[in-house]
Amino acid sequence: MKNIYLYYTAILAPFAIMLFLMKMDYINSWAFIFFMIVYSLVYRTYIDGLRLVSKGIIDKSDIWKMVYNGRRFEYFKELYYK
């Protein structure tokens, strides 16, 4: 996922869909909180890891290590700017 526009679409589209579903009363606030936790811990970790793997910065086996110790902030520039 080297294309930055595709990356931003991949991280913003699910969030926009969750907001839309909540606004239309398809999901309640507890379901929204649950989906936000899954989104931030599982989905975003995987998408950010795929971007770093495709850029050759980390190995595929290191994707799930980004969940803890602020590893996502360590690669902030590579994820969002380059």
Q: What is the pLDDT of residue 80?
A: 78
Across the range 69-82, mean pLDDT stands at 77
10-45 pLDDT tens trace: 999 999 999 999 999 899 989 999 999 999 889 988
Task: Enter the pTM of the model.
Answer: 0.80
Longest dimension (CA), the chain: 42
Q: How far apart are CA 47 and CA 64, in angstroms?
A: 11
